[in-house]
Amino acid sequence: MRIINEIALKDFKFWSGAKETAEELSEQHFNSVETLLEELYPFGMTETEVNDFFWHERDKIAQWLWMKNWEDHEQEKK
């Protein structure tokens, strides 16, 4: 059985390395990333796909948020 649940990205329950990425983002960041993901994946993503994206695509997320890479984001916090 397939159950589809639509939630805001900021409310998603991330796990493993994706949880660390999500903890670093503001609500505005989540809104920006969510908009881009909706454009790229018009039929949605599975929970695993969302989690893996946040875990393994940190540099892409940083670029979408106008940073060179994730390390720039970490430096910006200091």
Q: Which residue has the higher pLDDT, 52 or 67?
A: 52
Domain boundaries, the chain: 13-77
50, amino acid identity: V
- Looking at residue 15, its pLDDT comes to 97
Q: Please state the pTM of the whole predicted model.
A: 0.84
Give ∠ CA 74-76-78 in degrees, rounded to 5. Answer: 80
Whether the per-residue pLDDT at 68 is higher than 80: the answer is no
Question: Are 50 and 9 a contacting pair, CB within 8 Å?
Answer: yes
Helix, strand, coil percent values for the chain (each to nearest 5): 65, 0, 35
Question: Are 63 and 69 a contacting pair, CB within 8 Å?
Answer: yes
